[in-house]
Amino acid sequence: MAVRKSRSDRKSTRRPSSRTGLRVKTQRVSIIGLGYVGLSTAVCFANRGLRVHGVEIDRRKCDLISGGKSPIHEQDIDSYLSDCIRDGSLSCTSDIREAVLNSEITFLTVGTPSKPDGGIDLTYVEAAAREVGRILAEKKTYHLVVVKSTVVPGTTAGIVKDSLEMGSKKLFPKDFGLCFNPEFLREGTAIHDTLRPDALVIGAEDERSSETLLNLYKSFYGVDRVPDTLVTKIPNAEFVKYSVNTFRATQLSFLNSLANLCEKIPSADVSEVTKGLSVVTKIDSRYLRAGFGYGGSCLPKDLRALTALFQRLDVDSSLLLSVAEINQKQPLRAVEIAKQLVGDLRANRIAVLGLAFKAGTDDIRESVGVRIVVELLSLGARVNVYDPQALENAKHVFESSVEFAQSTKSCLRGAQCCIVATDWEEFRKIPPSIFKNEMRNPIIIDGCHVLDSKAFESSGVFVYEIGRNSGDQALRSTISPMIGNSLV
Ligand SMILES: NC(=O)c1ccc[n+]([C@@H]2O[C@H](COP(=O)([O-])OP(=O)(O)OC[C@H]3O[C@@H](n4cnc5c(N)ncnc54)[C@H](O)[C@@H]3O)[C@@H](O)[C@H]2O)c1
């Protein structure tokens, strides 16, 4: 295992290639699966002068991408995509054969969802590897396959290698290369994270594979600017990805438990505690934010997949089970607090601001906002929802069971209580007067720490911040006049 230190200036804010002249010697790659990871990788590679052949089986997505329009919301992705479609450095096709034959390196970025039992569903990875294998049979030159999808330890050197060998009738590592190269981008900052990752991890069993991939990254980042890189065996690299995500989930469940406790201790505030925790332990504060729990397409599913692996191999999984259980309950805190503040929720109108699992994305997979709405509806509440980017995705989930508002203002109209479930910048800027003028009761439950509760309270708007003890007295005196002293 070796960590190669980068000589780059990490604070560099240089823009990608085509705009700064930092283009690289043309290398040809194919990327199978243009979702959040595949498309972000594709546009960044193409903008730095690589020739990228994207493959996407979803026709709608493929047509949009070919027309220069992103099927997902990500900061900067539209301009990057339209640039590289226009100059021909990126093309999208559903013809995997054409893409693989016209490239030297193939990245697999297809989804790895959960099976009903929580274990990892490798159907897409296996199908893609089998197809790539069949095409490798036709290739006369060396080809490297890189798994970027998150897969449980043992998958790349097992199912993926076997599928490639079976399809191609060739042998690894003699006839083709194979790496596992986990992706750490965060939705909402995917382009930034791809251009300036904290680190690279390359899992490889042979030097030719790891050197081929490293050379690609040298071209992409510049020889002197390759991020710190860990080169290790494939299963270790697979473990690194799972350990990072389950560690983050564990931190968050720990912090959310602490937040629930802080609420019971006079003057305690989890945000302050978190600052101290970060300063003393040097844990990255980006991943220390208490709230209604974690969601998204990665943390919950990766925790389930690792737990299933622990159980399959008969290793004690009680820590991971507790992390998941705490996270399962945490969004319900929003509803419990709403009941405490408003009383019976039946027929009451509740506004939910934020359905995306985090700011900066339209992704609602396992989002806490969605879970909160489902719970409110099950208790008979009438629910208004608003999200700056995720409404279209949410319409497929809620259809006509909620009111879809087109602005924060209309979402708040007539509501007895508002729950803030996503940390969108737009929500930070809502002045107290909007809540006061539009809501029936200006009561807010802020799970994202986006509102200045003290400033709001002085304007007569009550903000219940997760993890902050505002004191029973303050709570009673602010709320009681609004709801006719029904506060328990
Ligand atoms: N989303 C993230 O933030 C993130 C971050 C790091 C790692 N990951 C991992 O990366 C992988 C991809 O995640 P995602 O969020 O981009 O998934 P996604 O569901 O957004 O995208 C996957 C895409 O692959 C396409 N696809 C499936 N089979 C295909 C095939 N045979 N040929 C061509 N296209 C095919 C699907 O149509 C889909 O568009 C997962 O393993 C995930 O765990 C995701």
- Which residue, by CA, sits nearest to atom 29 of ligand 1? 33
The Cα–Cα gap between 311 and 305 comes to: 10
What token pair was written down for 448?
Answer: 């994202």
The CB of 30 under 6 Å from ligand 1? The reply is: no
Catalytic residue among 298, 411, 417, 418: 298
141: which DSSP letter?
S
> Angle of helix 391-398 relative to helix 368-378, nearest 10 degrees?
40
Helices 59-66 and 77-86 pack at an angle, to 10 degrees, of 70
* Beta strands 28-32; 51-55: pairing state: parallel
- Cα of 373 from ligand 1 centre, angstroms: 26
158 DSSP 8-state letter: I
Q: Given this model, what pLDDT does residue 15 score?
A: 37
Retrieve residue 280's tokens.
């003393």
**Whole-number pLDDT of residue 238:** 98
Encoded amino acid at 234, one letter: I
The span from the CA of 190 to the CA of 42, in Å, is: 11
The per-residue pLDDT for 11 is 35
Q: Of how many residues is the chain composed?
A: 488
Establish whether residue 219 lines the binding site of ligand 1, counting it when its CB lies within 6 angstroms of any ligand atom: no
Cα of 268 from ligand 1 centre, angstroms: 41
Q: Which amino acid is at 481?
A: P
Q: In which order are the strands placed within the sheet that holds 51-55?
A: 2-4, 229-232, 200-204, 177-180, 144-147, 105-108, 28-32, 51-55, 90-93
Residue nearest to atom 20 of ligand 1 (CA): 35
- 245 in helix, strand or coil? helix
Alpha helices (runs of H) in 176-298, residue ranges in sequence order: 190-195, 207-221, 234-262, 270-281
In three-state secondary structure terms, 32 is strand
Residue 363 in contact with ligand 1 by CB distance below 6 A:
no
User: Rounded CA gap, 115 and 295, in Å?
Assistant: 17
Per DSSP, the three-state class of 311 is: helix
Specify the CATH architecture of the domain 2-232. Answer: 3-Layer(aba) Sandwich (3.40)
∠ Cα 185 189 190 (to 5°): 45
- Residue bearing the CA closest to ligand 1, atom 38: 35
Determine if residue 403 is left, alpha or beta; phi over 0 gives left, psi from -120 to 50 gives alpha, anything else beta. Answer: beta
Considering only CA atoms, give the Rg of the chain. 24
Domain with CATH 3.40.50.720 in the chain: 2-232, 247-483
pLDDT given for residue 35 in this prediction = 97
Q: Is 59 exposed, middle or buried (0-12, 13-18, 19+ CB in 10 A)?
A: exposed
187 lines ligand 1 (CB under 6 A): yes
Known active-site residue 92? no
Q: Residue 303 and residue 315: Cα distance in Å, rounded?
A: 15
Record the pTM. 0.91
Give the residue whose CA is nearest to atom 13 of ligand 1.
Answer: 111
pLDDT mean by block of 10 residues, the chain; 488 residues: 49 38 68 98 96 98 98 96 97 98 98 96 98 97 97 98 97 97 96 96 98 96 94 98 97 97 94 95 90 97 98 98 98 96 93 97 97 98 98 97 98 97 97 96 95 91 90 52 45
Dist. CA 107 → ligand 1 center (Å): 11
Ligand 1 centre to CA of 144 (Å) is 19
- Cβ(313)–Cβ(128) below 8 Å: no
User: According to the model, what pLDDT value does residue 378 have?
Assistant: 97
Nearest-CA residue for atom 26 of ligand 1: 33
Our answer on whether the CB atom of 36 is closer than 6 Å to any ligand 1 atom is yes
Q: Cβ(93) to ligand 1 under 6 A?
A: no
| Residue entry with tokens 């290793």 | 315
Burial grade of 167 (CB within 10 A; 0-12, 13-18, 19 or more): middle
> From ligand 1's centre to the CA of 297, what distance in Å?
10
Q: Is the Cβ atom of 39 under 6 angstroms away from ligand 1?
A: no
CA distance 211 to 118: 35
Closest CA to 146 of 171, 168, 164: 164
Does CATH number 3.40.50.1820 belong to domain 247-483?
no
Three-state DSSP state, 188: coil
Burial class (CB in 10 A: 0-12, 13-18, 19+), 118: middle
